Chains A and B, each alone.
Chain A
Amino acid sequence: MSPSNMEEGSLTKKDFVTENDVRWCPGCGDYAILNAVQRTLPELGVPKEKFVVVSGIGCSSRFPYYMNTYGFHTIHGRAPTVVTGVKSANPELSVWMITGDGDGLSIGGNHLMHLLRRNLDVNVLLFNNRIYGLTKGQYSPTSEVGKKTKSTPAGSLDYPVNPLLFALGSEATFVARTTDTDQKHMVETFKAAHAHKGTSFVEIFQNCVIFNNHAFDPVTGRESRGEQSLILNEGQPLRFGENKGIRLNGFDPEVVELGNGVEESDLLVHRSKTANPAYATILAQMAYPAFPTPFGILRQIEGRETYEDALHQQIQSAQAQGTGNLQELLTGKNSWIVE
């Protein structure tokens, strides 16, 4: 155990690797995400001892055991509540919450909503593999309708939740999507999430090699991703593939081919800081096969106070008129003396 109060910038990925054997299945997308997080943290200028990684339950939630930071592997779906406690107690900490589609959107959907609306300054990484892995292959709340699994031999019935829409509906101040197949994009996205003051919600497409292999191949696979994914670049028109773009027709997006009278200036331009959530909502609803699936920061809104700042601010302003005297509190205003 080496003291790590080292100079800013001197940390490397190795400082965040634990001695524990990583026990995900060979080929699991979680390895790539772990690698990206371990590459991101040394570059943030935050002392190692300030990092706290908190998770719920599920394959993804084993994450804290593999990070050489303060870590807390909690219970199913409830990581947002523990994160709220950690950050309320000590706003100085850089808190990273790891969850999955089942943990975050099924059993823990309620807590996630409240974390997002409260806007604590934490980073939420939701590993979405559209399946229950740790319980061996039941369908999840993000599985497509008709998903045949061990618990749904005739196909699943329920309409899936869209994690980005869920976050936007909860008025999250930072909403992004990335994928386990793109190290560079993950690191960029995680850095932006850290830089954002408020709750940063990042959905990560994560491949479960055992129970839902190739689930994202059409959008993230080498051959098709050019045509089926849309990389969001701030201030740039929404372009994808060889020569395609997204144009707005009324409130509806449409895929257009440039040329034949369609100019680049007709395309939607990506502005993630737009106050109105309608644009981000349009993006969040775009998905393969009708649309390219967007990756990047859909929305980032500055200026909403974080919960922990407001909490501590109230205490500071109450104490500005003098800190409480415990003896006075106990005695109260209506005491009497017995001689």
Chain B
Amino acid sequence: MIQANDSFEEIESAVVRFAGDSGDGMQTIGERFTDSSAFAGNDIATLPDFPAEIRAPAGTLAGVSGYQLQFGSRTILTPGDEPDALVAMNPAALKANIGDLPEGGLLVVNVDSFKDMNLKKAGYQNNPLQDEEFRRKYQLVELDLTSLTKDALSESPLKPSDKARCKNFFALGFMCYVYGRPLEPTLKFFDQKWGKKLPDVAEANSTALKAGFNLGDTMETARNRYQLAKAVVQPGVYRKISGNEALVYGLVAGANCAGRELLYSGYPITPASPVLEGLSALKKYGVKTVQAEDEIAAMGVAIGASFAGDLSVVATSGPGMCLKSEFIGLASITELPVIICNVQRGGPSTGLPTKTEQSDLLQSLYSRHGDCPLPVLAAHSPSDCFDCAIEACRIALKHTTPVILLSDLYVANGAEPWLVPNVSDLSPIEVKFADPREPYVTYRRDSQTLARTQAIPGQPGLEHRIGGLEKSEDGGVSYDPQNHEKMTRLRAEKVERIADFLPATQIHGQSSGDLLVIGWGGTYGAITSAVKAMQDEGFSISSVHLRHLNPLPADLEKIIRSFKKVIVPELNLGQLSMILRAKYLVDARSLSKVQGKPFKVLELREAFHKELS
């Protein structure tokens, strides 16, 4: 079989980016390379980056789709600032990405596609590959990918056009050679995906993959291969998981912990649709899914199901949150548990539907009319979506309230290795329902949490009415001014009291010092990496990454006051920093970025340096 025979250069981590037309299968080979790296025992973080159009005009800059990942033997928290290696399948992919490749980086191009027409479409006057300066700047590897793939598949019964489509796996095979990645996970993938239904396709892709690998082996290049040790991690069973997958599993696990049936209703929207699709495939776990007629309906279905006793969940993105707002107010005043997931994307309006942003925090906190505070929490990494989903279930049920769970496109689509938890280790969620043997008072509250007790339709003696009109404690409609103030304050305090049940805030670094970095959500990896690097350089800097955005942790103010300066990096125009300033009267500086892209570690370090100088 395939054997490597040349020398290896030992490296700690590497960043590889695949780029091509949106129909070239870049996401597919990115994911396969990720799987191989996970299989090889490395830590990983990924960044799929694709256009909003499913198939933008071929060969144009608008249609370029990319997938970047960082893998290593050390802890990997981000997909990397810039690639060490770039695979460009056509001139447009080269043009869109070459600016990120540092001098001396490995550049693999599909020269077959560097024809006049494609160069023109990409806006190149001259072929950059014929420019001597360009050629000297990078470690350039020119592969005739289309013809090499066709040659490798000369025996295959596939049509020539179908053979050409295997070229992405040829490229993947070559990169697997360069970075010493095993082919087994990809071969297994072919077998699982096409082995039975389309064996010729499985065979052709396997052949292309191996041919790419072998080409690396036989090519007379002066370059070294790279080798990475396994990452040192806690022993256990691992798998690769994306944020949306982890969210799906977390919701199922949450329902399981609470002993409730799970009903999910959703309307397709990028980037939350995989949650609807993922849960729809879990019927044997008893999961009910309803694809509603619109975003509003999805929320109404969830509220109805919650009233009838299911654990109900919706997931959407910003525009869907706007549409659900009125219903979320109804869930708040009727005090029904519902989990509302918002996988954020660039806004406002359709905005940047396939790019990441954290700009829905204020919407989550304040988008209802009336005084309507709700618990809001945010997942900070793909696997953290699992824990956050269970946490959201716990809060919703224990405190009888809708809960907003924020994810974002970067977290949802990114993937990382995950130490699979033991189901038996997950703590049960205790849910108390009304007892038919006792008189039922609709808004009688638990003395600790202020939560009300739900009475589920179908039980004799517990008949009651709820609704959007203000109620008195006994459940009757009340227009009494004093009662409205009392109920408004009780609902707010109920949410505020969730803070009594939160664990102490974790501080990365010393508990006092010169600069405190406060982050939330998907910026975790970049902030933590930057802070760690600066701590290693001797700076007095610490970070706190908030999971709970409402209520904020009770100990946060004390932590903030233990630092001379506070900076809040966010992928928005400063939403959390505004909250912190308002709540704690602290000069929390905002570090803002709204480009649809995550922070680079380097740009954070530069900003932190500036604060400290």
Contact = CB atoms under 8 A, between A and B. Distances in A.
Interface of A: 1-5, 18, 20, 47-50, 52, 54, 57, 64-65, 67-75, 78, 80-90, 92-93, 110-111, 113-114, 311-312, 314-315, 318-319, 321-324, 326-327, 329-339
A66 B527 CA distance: 57
B309 interface: yes
Interface string B460-504: 111111111100000011000000000000000000000000000
12 contacts: A20-B476, A50-B457, A70-B457, A74-B330, A82-B304, A85-B290, A86-B457, A89-B288, A89-B308, A113-B293, A326-B423, A338-B41
Interface stretch (B4-12, B202-210, B237-245): B237-245
A114 B290 CA distance: 12
Instruction: List 5 tightest A-B contacts by C-beta distance, closest first.
Output: A85-B304, A81-B300, A73-B467, A324-B285, A318-B283
A49 B462 contact: yes
B11 to A, nearest CB: 20
Contacts, number: 225
Given A70-B465, A337-B235, 7 more contacts: A65-B467, A78-B300, A87-B308, A88-B304, A93-B458, A114-B293, A334-B185
A52 B467 CA distance: 13
Interface in B295-345: 296-310, 312, 326-327, 330, 334
B415 to A, nearest CB: 12
B253 A326 contact: yes
Contacts of A333: 192
Given A321-B284, A326-B253, A82 B300 contact: yes
B301 A82 contact: yes
A338 B303 contact: no
Nearest to A339: B235
Contacts of B230: 338
Nearest to B235: A338
Nearest to B261: A89
B290 A311 contact: yes
Contact of B423 (A73, A110, A330, A339): A330
B53 interface: no
A326 B304 contact: no
Contact of A68 (B234, B296, B463): B463
Contacts of B309: 89-90
B263 interface: yes
B575 interface: no
A327 B310 CA distance: 22
Give the interface size bracket for B toward A.
35 or more
Contacts of B160: none
A334 B35 CA distance: 9
Nearest to A111: B297
B477 A84 contact: no
B282 interface: yes
A73 B301 contact: no
Contact of B468 (A47, A73, A88, A329): A73
A85 B300 contact: yes
A70 B464 contact: yes
Contacts of B287: 315
B294 interface: yes
B351 interface: no
B461 A4 contact: yes
Contacts of A75: 326-327, 330, 468
Contacts of B240: 334
Contact of B303 (A85, A311, A314): A85
A81 B461 contact: no
Contacts of A92: 458
B265 interface: yes
A48 B462 CA distance: 10
Contact of A72 (B39, B459, B467): B467
Contacts of A64: 465, 467
For A311, A327, A329, the residue with the greatest tally of chain B CB atoms inside 10 Å of its CB is A329
A71 B238 contact: no
A74 B468 contact: yes
B301 A88 contact: yes
A326 B309 CA distance: 22
B256 interface: yes
Contacts of B238: 335-338
Contact of B461 (A2, A83, A321): A2
A29 to B, nearest CB: 22
B82 to A, nearest CB: 29
A49 B458 contact: yes
B440 interface: yes
